[in-house]
């Protein structure tokens, strides 16, 4: 196969500084060389930047048919009521919703997903699709009452029977997602983590998303106790006295890889613990976080402590789209002092690390998969630095390459 020699105005390898007027050489499905300079056979991609394919570390594809986030955004428990209702109302099949989400993700430059699934469907659809992002599919388990434990354990064990696919062109791994402390019995939570540990599988859990969640654990009251009562599931004995958010975080350190989704209200204790637990990543979902009106997320403090921060869109139930590029533009606007390189790393390499795929993807490094997004930059005449050019409201993802082949 002939080597593809791609020339762009900028190349952002993520590992290493941005390169101006640079070349990426692709041999088969892999990156063969990355350097500043020219090549006589180069295909000139014009006023563009090449970046690694984006990694959306947290989404739920089954809500991809929603045109608008669900209301109300507050209180959070009312949003949960809306999402439970929406499961019954939609006329769009789950398959159709997931396919829409796969398509939207790819077009937005996302070549790797952390997907939360309530059935086997997304795993199968991702495997069967002609082109689809690499993925870790976490099977969601729900059950606050003791009566659900055995059934959920069985579902989880069955799901982990799906063997990881690790082919030349495609990677897909199964994992587990005990949903959240307010929706999973503490015993079930520990059993699922034990199961994942025994199988060497990754886990993703929604943790410390709201203050109400902390109130439930610490005082056994508040909006979640009310919601669980309404659903006929509330029994204050289920949560032992003195249980804290830390008690949900600590078991995750026994896994080879775990994602603490959101962590909006992680405090000093949790941050200190995460600092000593490099196998746990935190996934910050910027626009979803904004939609719910939380106080500022501690992501920058966490990064200063050496914690791996990946970026997710979460689902279309709390976000207008699944476009990770828009997520990065949002961060640029909200955090003008943060470097473009750091924001880009969170949306690429950090996500790949969180999903245990960083040896294969997440940066433009020789030997890694040639998964890239091509970014159309603002006019050549703009005298902007590489950083200001890349995460610019006038920049957009124009093409996507997976495994060395353009998919659009």
Binding mask of the shown chain, residues 255 to 294, with x at each position contacting Zn ion by CB under 5 A: ----------------------------------------
Of the pair 24, 258, the CB lying nearest Zn ion is at: 258
DSSP 15: S
Give SS3 for 376.
strand
Of the pair 173, 262, the CB lying nearest Zn ion is at: 262
Structure tokens at 293: 């009106």
By CB under 5 A, how many residues form the interface with Zn ion? 1
**Minimum gap (Å) between residue 262 Cβ and Zn ion:** 8
**Minimum gap (Å) between residue 80 Cβ and Zn ion:** 11
Of the pair 10, 159, the CB lying nearest Zn ion is at: 159
Across 73-213, the runs of DSSP E, i.e. the strands, are 110-117, 134-141, 165-166, 171-178, 203-207
Tell me the window of 170-178, 183-191, 310-318, 353-361 that interacts with Zn ion (CB under 5 A): 310-318
Q: Is 213 in the site for Zn ion (CB under 5 A)?
A: no
Burial of 295 (0-12, 13-18, 19+ CB in 10 A): exposed
Tell me the window of 312-320, 333-341, 345-353, 391-399 that interacts with Zn ion (CB under 5 A): 312-320
Q: Is 121 in the site for Zn ion (CB under 5 A)?
A: no
Burial of 118 (0-12, 13-18, 19+ CB in 10 A): middle
Tell me the window of 158-166, 306-314, 351-359, 395-403 that interacts with Zn ion (CB under 5 A): 306-314
Count of alpha carbons within 13 Å of 298, Cβ hemisphere only? 20
Q: Tokens 């970046």: give the residue.
A: 51
Of the pair 179, 332, the CB lying nearest Zn ion is at: 179
Of the pair 6, 245, the CB lying nearest Zn ion is at: 245
**Minimum gap (Å) between residue 314 Cβ and Zn ion:** 5
How far is the CA of 193 from the CAs of 33, 249, 256, in angstroms?
40, 11, 11
**Minimum gap (Å) between residue 62 Cβ and Zn ion:** 11
d(CA 19, CA 94): 43
Of the pair 213, 314, the CB lying nearest Zn ion is at: 314
- List the one residue from 25, 140, 153, 314 that touches Zn ion (CB under 5 A): 314
> Got the DSSP string for 39-100?
-TTPEE--SEEEEEPEEEEEE-GGGTT-SS--S--SSHHHHHHHHHHHHHH--S-HHHHHHH
Q: What are 376's strand-pairing partners?
A: 48, 396
**Minimum gap (Å) between residue 283 Cβ and Zn ion:** 9
Write out the residues near Zn ion by the rule CB under 5 A: 314
């Amino acid at each position: 196969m002939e080597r593809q020699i791609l020339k762009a105005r900028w190349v952002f390898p993520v590992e290493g500084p941005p390169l101006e007027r640079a070349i990426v050489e692709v041999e088969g499905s892999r990156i063969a060389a990355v350097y500043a300079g020219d090549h006589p056979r180069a295909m000139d991609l014009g006023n563009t930047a090449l970046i690694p394919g984006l990694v959306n570390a947290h989404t739920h594809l089954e809500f991809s048919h929603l045109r608008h986030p669900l209301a109300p955004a507050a209180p959070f428990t009312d949003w949960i009521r809306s999402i439970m209702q929406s499961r019954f109302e939609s006329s769009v099949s789950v398959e159709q919703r997931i396919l829409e989400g796969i398509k939207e993700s790819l077009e937005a430059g996302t070549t790797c997903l952390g997907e939360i699934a309530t059935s086997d469907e997304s795993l199968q659809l991702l495997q069967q699709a002609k082109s689809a992002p690499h993925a870790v599919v976490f099977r969601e388990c729900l059950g606050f009452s003791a009566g659900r434990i055995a059934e959920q354990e069985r579902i989880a064990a069955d799901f982990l029977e799906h063997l990881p696919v690790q082919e030349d062109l495609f990677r897909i791994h199964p994992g587990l997602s005990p949903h959240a402390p307010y929706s999973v019995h503490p015993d079930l939570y520990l059993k699922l983590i034990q199961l994942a540990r025994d199988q060497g599988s990754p886990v993703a859990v929604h943790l410390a998303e709201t203050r109400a969640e902390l109130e439930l654990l610490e005082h056994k009251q508040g909006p979640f106790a009310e919601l669980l009562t309404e659903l006929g599931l509330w029994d204050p004995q289920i949560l032992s006295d003195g249980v804290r958010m830390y008690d949900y975080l600590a078991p995750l350190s026994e896994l080879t890889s775990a994602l603490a989704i959101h962590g909006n209200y992680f405090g000093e204790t949790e941050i200190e613990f995460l600092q000593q637990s490099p196998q746990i990543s935190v996934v910050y979902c910027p626009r979803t976080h904004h939609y719910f009106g939380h106080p500022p997320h501690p992501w920058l403090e966490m990064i200063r402590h050496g914690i791996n921060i990946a970026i997710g869109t979460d689902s279309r139930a709390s976000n207008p789209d699944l476009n990770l590029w828009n997520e990065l533009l949002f961060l640029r606007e909200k955090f003008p002092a943060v470097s473009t390189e750091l924001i880009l790393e969170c949306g690429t390499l950090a996500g790949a690390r969180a999903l245990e795929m960083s040896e294969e993807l997440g940066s433009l490094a020789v030997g890694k998969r040639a998964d890239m997004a091509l970014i159309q930059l603002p006019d050549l005449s703009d005298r902007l630095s590489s950083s200001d050019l890349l995460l610019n409201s006038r920049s957009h993802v124009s093409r996507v390459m997976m495994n060395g082949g353009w998919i659009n």
